[in-house]
Amino acid sequence: MPVKEGFDGARIFVVRYAAVMYMEFLRKARLGKLPALLLPWYDRCARPLPWRGERDPYRIWISETMLQQTRAETVKGYYARFLQALPDVQALAEAEEERLLKLWEGLGYYSRARNLQKAARQICRERAGQFPQACEELKALPGIGPYTAGAVASIAFEQPAPAVDGNVVRLLSRYLCDETPKDKLGETLRRELEEIYPPGRCGDFTQALMEAGATVCGPAGAPRCEDCPLKKDCLARENGRQKELPVCGKKAAHRTEARTVFLLRAGDALALRKRPGKGLLAGMWEFPNVAGNLEASQALEQAARWGCGPWGEVAVRQEKHVFTHVTWEMTGYEIHCAQAPAEFVWATQEEMKTRYSLPTAFRRFLPANEK
Ligand code: SF4
């Protein structure tokens, strides 16, 4: 290679390297401003939520687990009821599964509740009921991922452990104008944030990031930039790109399934059965149901095969329920049966209210006075 060409190549490499380093320096400087921008705003504007100011790891763990995939407004009532029934890790470890699922009924993602109990049992068995403080030890417990571990470690134990959820990714992808797909950006941000945690206010900083992402830089509609503590430094706002960010990664395919659901009534009782132990709504109670949208005559034939006939009134209702990867389009038949076949559990109205936890997809078919 001629000497001049080799020299030009080296110069281009040096210039590019310097540019990358400079961009990294600017990004670090921008991230470094976050505690000073967010904490005073958080002190003034944080919503008064029931778990705000909480430092007990058990209570923080319950609230953060409930808040995954669920809005704060919805969680409030569940949080209070759950802690009243199961006030500490021992009570959770010893609770009957049926009671636990009843307390969780309507929150969805029931594996969260089962994992809470598995982890509680492990904490009682191996650690005499004491929560681990280190993020890595928390992550070793069933159902605790990097987000929940970071939340508990930083809020309860003042560790510099970021909790990066969808709200934080949205906020910071916009603040930094970062086009990395959001499923990959979370881990990068977690590493970067670790370096800027303010000693003595780790828990507040975690909550300030979540709060700004959940309120001013929200997902639906336009972000409320005028109210945002980051507005003067936000690159997406400067470039008018707020609505383009964060960039979505590949979404799992969403499918639609037709199902026919049976409210089989025998006197005061309704037929229930348990779902299989694996897959969607694993191990939960359900109304008997079959794949496909059956006509009324086909539905009665199915009820006859179960041994429910002869029947009186039959009523029909359409309902829809959206899960993460599948939507159920359901036709429901309410059938008053003469027989109550033993293959089902027959639950009275009282038992439906107090004992059996029924996922929302099925609960939709209950009349208001039976919910
Ligand atoms: S200025 Fe607007 S886009 Fe930027 S972080 Fe704040 S709310 Fe989000």
The pLDDT tens digits of the residues spanning 308-344 come to 877 777 788 999 999 989 999 999 999 999 899 999 9
Tell me the CA–centroid distance for residue 38 and ligand 1, in Å: 12
DSSP state of 251: P
Domain boundaries along the sequence of the chain: 34-244, 255-370
Q: Residue 7: its pLDDT value, please? A: 66
Q: Residue 18: its pLDDT value, please? A: 80
User: Is there an atom of ligand 1 within 6 Å of 163 CB?
Assistant: no
User: Is there an atom of ligand 1 within 6 Å of 242 CB?
Assistant: yes
Q: Is 70 exceeded by the pLDDT of residue 359?
A: yes
Closest to 96 in 3D by CA, of 108, 80, 79, 114:
114
For the entire predicted model, the pTM comes to 0.86
Fold of domain 255-370 = Nucleoside Triphosphate Pyrophosphohydrolase (3.90.79)
CATH 1.10.340.30, domain 34-244, yes or no = yes
Tell me the CA–centroid distance for residue 363 and ligand 1, in Å: 39
DSSP output for 42-103: HHHH----TTTT---HHHHHHHHHHHTTS-HHHHHHHHHHHHHHS-SHHHHHHS-HHHHHHH
Summarize pLDDT for 242-258 with one digit per residue, the tens: 999 999 877 778 999 99
Output 123 or 14, whichever has higher pLDDT.
Answer: 123
Please give the Cα distance from 264 to 345 (Å, whole number).
Answer: 11
Q: pLDDT confidence of 198, banded at 50, 70, 90?
A: very high
Active-site residue 64, yes or no?
yes
Give the closest residue (by CA) to ligand 1 atom 1.
231
Please give the Cα distance from 214 to 9 (Å, whole number).
Answer: 47
Between β-strands 255-266 and 326-337, what pairing exists: parallel, antiparallel or unpaired?
Answer: parallel
Tell me the CA–centroid distance for residue 54 and ligand 1, in Å: 27
Ligand 1 atom at minimum distance from 230 CA: 6
Q: Is 70 exceeded by the pLDDT of residue 50?
A: yes
Catalytic residue among 5, 24, 54, 64: 64
